[in-house]
Structure 1
Amino acid sequence: MDIPQTRDNTVKPPVADTIHKQESSVKKSPLFSKIDAALMNKVALFQTSYARYAARAMLATLFLTLGTAAAFGTALQAEKILPGSGKFTFAFMFSWSLVMIIFMGAELGTSDMMFVTVGVYRKKINFSTAVKVLGTTLLFNLIGGILFAYLISLTGPFQDLPTNNYLFDGIASKLSKPSLQIFVEAIFANIIVNTALFMNLRMKDDAGKVMAIIFIIFIFAFLGYEHVIANFPAFSLAFFASHGTIAGMTLGSVLHNLFFALIGNYVGGALIIGMTYAWMNKTKTDYVD
């Protein structure tokens, strides 16, 4: 084979050899370095102090309950002033939930779906650890959601609500959705949540992070998509505030919604966002996030 030479007659390596050297190792992704570090912090806390990890998971639904209560509270008042405006105020106020969760270092099950799945794929943790961490997060998100929703239901804004109002009607509508609709809406909901999380990891300015999170989460809240963790306090608050009189609210209808929302959220957050980006960033080129 003829070896290409430069004008000064020095030997120039073949192009194929140059490309091979450039692609000899997988490029390091700054985004996934942060995801790996965050995952390792979660696992270390889980393994050394289960109670502290559980407390962070309960804090996630404390902030989510506060955001949900503020969202429904403002929507109830907005509907009195201008019918139809409640949807806008609800979506805006609900968006602050994820801001509080991220900035206060709480553990949210729908984002942990992405973290642990990517961790298994990237061989940072084993499957057993992933299941335990995610299962614990979901369990204490549920406990926190029920507990804090009950306490919020005892406060002034949720006393003696009329039978037909934005909160009760909204929850009744959620519980009447068919399985496929819940599943598909849940996929999109967690695509949106984990997109907001990725944006938070990539941005440096805190004010910019807040704005990005609010406007991204506004999408799924305004469209009424299904988020299994958000439904923990939402269903609980509606049940306690209505004293169990929500139309169509039975144990079966609640479990039906939560099951398909859980599966859809996993597909959207763990597989479509988490695994897709993990696979795309397992590259030997410079095109990494």
Structure 2
Amino acid sequence: MDANFLTSRPAQLPDYDTATPVDSENEQTVEKSPLFRKIDDALMNKVALFQSSYARYAARAMLATLFLTLGTAAAFGTALQAEKLLPGSGKFTFAFMFSWSLVMIIFMGAELGTSNMLFVTVGVYRKKIHFSTAAKVLGTTLLFNLIGGVFFAYLISLTGPFQDLPSANYLFDGIAAKLSKSSIQIFVEAIFANIIVNTAFFINLRMKDDAGKVMAIIFVIFIFAFLGYEHVIANFPAFSLAFFASHGTIAGMTLGSVLHNLFFALIGNYVGGALVIGMTYAWMNKTKTNYVD
């Protein structure tokens, strides 16, 4: 028997929290960032559900715009009443109430296209999934976000608060203003909108206390809602609700103007969420140092 076998010490396993990535192309690196371990886990759960049960994944994507529709309806509903009591206050009440949409989406486990832009892009960059898988997951999420947004907005438009609205009100005027924006304005605003939304997702992943998460999400999302920035998924139910509630009478609301807004909002959201936040943080955390998130 080899004497070295009797005297050698067993190899020590690396500590999951502190191990430094090995500098070898042939060995698996150990992820030091707690944030990106959570991102990897979340991504793998999404992909596993998508591949094992497409219908369940689609349902979660539709639920995202159910909650967005409810939040949007509550936001516009309170803004309509606030404007009657104190002109100019509608913007504040809208932003606060809309912020609860993301709280519901996160805590109810729904699939939002603008956050999945980050997850799948980072997954491809970090070689966790193939590009084709990323495209299918993101495409499915966006498709069923759209279907859910239109369907649930139609149902909400049948409820009392949205019956017989005057032609000039906070909802209709706000949507008309969105549709009149230039391409570059929509694009830039969409970049910042999804920077804010994915910052809220990062905060949710890093915090442990649920009450703290709720407060943080509300105040972060308040920024983008108050500034009126463009979020392609939020616009699905917003445009649909305005269309159904107005019976298609909003000035400047045509198929062309709606598609124009959604296209540039989609591109801008991808840049802001997937590239500015997702890729930047993925690159910064791909380091041999201990300075990770």
The question of a shared fold, defined as TM-score above 0.5 by the shorter chain, is answered with yes
Aligned to 2:88: 84
Aligned to 1:44: 48
Aligned to 2:126: 122
Aligned to 2:195: 191
Aligned partners of 2:102 and 2:217 also within 8 Å: yes
Aligned partners of 1:109 and 1:134 also within 8 Å: yes
Task: State the number of aligned residues.
Answer: 269
Aligned to 2:229: 225
Aligned to 2:149: 145
Aligned to 2:69: 65
Partner deviation per Cα, 1:157-199 (whole Å, 9 max, x = no partner): 0000000000000000000000000000000000000000000
Aligned partners of 2:146 and 2:236 also within 8 Å: yes
> Structure 1: where are the runs of 5+ without partners?
1-20
Aligned to 1:10: none
Partner deviation per Cα, 1:31-54 (whole Å, 9 max, x = no partner): 000000000000000000000000
For 1:23 and 1:206, how far apart are their aligned partners in 2? Answer: 32
Q: Is 1:155 matched up with 2:189? A: no
User: What is the correspondence of 1:205-220 to structure 2 with a 5 Å cutoff?
Assistant: 205-220=209-224
Aligned to 1:133: 137
Identity of aligned residues (%): 90
TM-align CA RMSD: 1.1
Taking structure 1 as reference, are residues 240 and 38 closer, same or farther at Cα in structure 2, changes over 3 Å only? same
Aligned to 2:250: 246
Taking structure 1 as reference, are residues 37 and 24 closer, same or farther at Cα in structure 2, changes over 3 Å only? closer
**What is the Cα deviation at residue 28 of structure 1?**
1.2
Aligned partners of 2:119 and 2:278 also within 8 Å: yes
Aligned to 2:275: 271
For 2:57 and 2:222, how far apart are their aligned partners in 1? Answer: 28
Q: Is 1:94 matched up with 2:98? A: yes
For 2:38 and 2:210, how far apart are their aligned partners in 1? Answer: 16
Aligned to 1:260: 264
Aligned partners of 2:120 and 2:138 also within 8 Å: yes
For 1:54 and 1:22, how far apart are their aligned partners in 2? Answer: 39
Partner deviation per Cα, 1:140-162 (whole Å, 9 max, x = no partner): 00000000000000000000000
Aligned partners of 2:20 and 2:32 also within 8 Å: no
**What is the Cα deviation at residue 24 of structure 1?**
4.7
Taking structure 1 as reference, are residues 159 and 278 closer, same or farther at Cα in structure 2, changes over 3 Å only? same
For 1:22 and 1:119, how far apart are their aligned partners in 2? Answer: 21
Aligned partners of 1:111 and 1:269 also within 8 Å: yes
SS of corresponding position for 1:95: helix
